[in-house]
Amino acid sequence: MQVKYLDAALAQTLTWIWLVVLAAGGVAWLIHRYWRARHPIPRPEPVLSYSQRLQQRLAKSQVVNKRRDPKRPSTSHRQRDR
């Protein structure tokens, strides 16, 4: 049985096509790296620990309590009219 080889012109054409595909991929990769270097991905904010979140909540409630007028009576403990 005789082994049939590809035509030399066809083999050369296929080789050039593959080289163009590889070169286009390399150029696309370089463009992507160039663009990513100038547009970095924003870093997510770090997750605070429980004690830090608690400290912020307590500080926030203290600020709210300081805003209340001390001369005005509290509305949460009103006595009912009899």
Neighbouring C-alpha atoms within 13 Å toward the C-beta of 32: 6
**What's the rounded Cα separation, in Å, for the pair 70 and 53?**
28
| Residue 67, both tokens | 């805003």
Q: What is the pLDDT of residues 29-82, one digit of tens each?
A: 999 999 999 999 999 989 999 999 999 999 887 766 666 566 666 666 656 665
| Residue 5, both tokens | 């080889």
The secondary element (H helix, E strand) that includes residue 19 is helix 8-38
**What's the rounded Cα separation, in Å, for the pair 65 and 59?**
10
| Residue 81, both tokens | 């009219």
Going from N- to C-terminal start, the domains of the chain cover 1-41
| Residue 12, both tokens | 């050369």
Per-residue confidence band for 6, with pLDDT thresholds at 50, 70 and 90:
confident
The reported pTM is: 0.48
